[in-house]
A and B are shown apart, each in its own frame.
Chain A
């Protein structure tokens, strides 16, 4: 029998978003903004995440999706939609 691996390639935007929500919840004290997390949510402006913690968010994302996010992509990862795009690209490239 062939084991079927977890299909990360096919993960859609909404399931990425819900995984992302769990990760950023650790770094934001703004419960309301977390509640209404959407693709337009900005990590610093809306979720009030300490900018130093953005690298921790990136590390958690890498672990959760088993991808590696390079320095250039990390610089762009300031909001939910950019994060989803980067994650999707990296998953495709795997």
Chain B
């Protein structure tokens, strides 16, 4: 029989809060983590604002040895390791430094482009005929699986240790891949999550595509405007989110606290056919992904209390709302509450899905809907579909029993997860 899968630990490194308590406080208060970046201005980016987590040296020293920090230059690995170790600790698990690996625990921790600053540093040396002076750590910091390799070593994991990558769907996908592994009995516990580097070399490609806003360089906090009529492109962000997933049996047997049960989900692609392209979603595939997730979870569309959308603050936001309406066959006042964390942290790219799932589960745990910032002028195409009362602009107390989270990414890929609040009996 398939295992039921629950979430027993979380960690987060977000532009508006590092650690669960500061992040909870920030999303409840609607605090923005978007700031002006002088470096982006110097490099003549169109969009000179971004969301970057703030980490002190003292905090970093709790997670990395002095030796590990020598020649270290991969912000994504740093964020991911901090979030992962926090999640492990939050789940009440210990880290054994000796003895056999933990054969029943693994990780699927994703990234997009990884270690880009380290790679840049290496490329300059290589072109300067200094390959022999690169040192030993270029590979570990730039390989696509660098983040899962670091986490596997930190925690002594002995099950599958791998990194997934599916653009802005990465974080949500990692949870579903880890879920499948536990559900099928191949692991008892999986650390899922995703991370994204900070900085101009990650964000430049998006800036060049003109998908980021250039209208808020003087007003960073109002730059990220999901669902607003004046949304003018996304604001790039970065960070990491992490989760300990484990079988319900394992969680109960060790008396672990349970945030939620993963009832089911779905991953699919629009194949870049129909309305789908490398960068635009195939609406039919998005709706199918949501409907299949609901079916796999064994619930009705009417059971969903709350949606955490992808909603990046581009012209595609109204299309996403339309897809939700079609998939759920719900609209107007009957639509679930919906919000987008991106109004506070920007679009954290490969880390978006995981950071947003942490936010969603904190809202579920604490019975509130976090505010949507910067949509005082709601897009009329959206209010034609759903009531403005469904898009809270202030933190609103509200019990959440079942929530749906979706993420969509370049390559026309989609992910949707259904979480249910766990009521201990």
Contacts and interface: CB of A to CB of B under 8 A. Distances in A.
A52 B71 CA distance: 14
Interface string A30-55: 00000000000000000000001111
Q: Which of B66, B70, B71, B136 has the most CB of A within 10 A?
A: B136
B136 A52 contact: yes
A69 to B, nearest CB: 10
Contacts of B67: 26-27, 29, 53
A26 B135 CA distance: 14
B136 A53 contact: yes
Contacts of B65: 29
A27 B67 CA distance: 6
Contacts of A56: 70-71, 135-137
B133 interface: yes
Nearest to B133: A59
B70 A26 contact: yes
B135 A59 contact: yes
A27 B135 CA distance: 13
A88 B136 CA distance: 25
A55 B70 contact: no
Contacts of A29: 65, 67
Interface residue range, chain B = under 10
A52 B66 CA distance: 16
Nearest to A52: B136
Contacts of B71: 56
Contacts of B133: 59
Interface in B64-84: 65-67, 70-71
B136 A26 contact: no
Contacts of A53: 67, 136
Nearest to B71: A56
Main SS of the interface on chain B?
Answer: loop
A27 B70 CA distance: 10
Contacts of B70: 26, 56
B66 A55 contact: no
A56 B66 CA distance: 14
Q: Which of A26, A29, A59 has the most CB of B within 10 A?
A: A59
B146 to A, nearest CB: 14
A72 to B, nearest CB: 13
A54 B65 CA distance: 18
Interface string B44-75: 00000000000000000000011100110000
Nearest to B139: A52
A29 to B, nearest CB: 8
Contacts of A27: 67
B69 to A, nearest CB: 11
Contacts of A26: 66-67, 70
A1 B122 CA distance: 43
B261 to A, nearest CB: 41
A88 B137 CA distance: 28
A54 B137 CA distance: 11
Nearest to B135: A56
Interface in B109-143: 133, 135-137
B150 to A, nearest CB: 14
B170 to A, nearest CB: 28
Nearest to A28: B67
B138 to A, nearest CB: 11
Interface in A36-93: 52-56, 59
A55 B133 CA distance: 9
B141 to A, nearest CB: 12
Contacts of A59: 133, 135
A33 to B, nearest CB: 15
Contacts of B137: 52, 56
Contacts of A52: 136-137
A54 B136 CA distance: 8
A37 B393 CA distance: 64
A21 B66 CA distance: 17
B72 to A, nearest CB: 12
A56 B71 CA distance: 10
A53 B67 CA distance: 10
Q: Which of A27, A29, A55 has the most CB of B within 10 A?
A: A55
Given A56-B135, A59-B135, 10 more contacts: A26-B66, A26-B67, A29-B67, A52-B137, A53-B67, A54-B136, A56-B70, A56-B71, A56-B136, A59-B133
Q: Which 9 A-B pairs have the closest CB atoms?
A: A52-B136, A55-B136, A56-B136, A56-B135, A53-B136, A59-B133, A59-B135, A27-B67, A26-B67
Interface of B: 65-67, 70-71, 133, 135-137
Interface of A: 26-27, 29, 52-56, 59
8 contacts: A26-B66, A27-B67, A29-B67, A52-B137, A56-B70, A56-B135, A59-B133, A59-B135
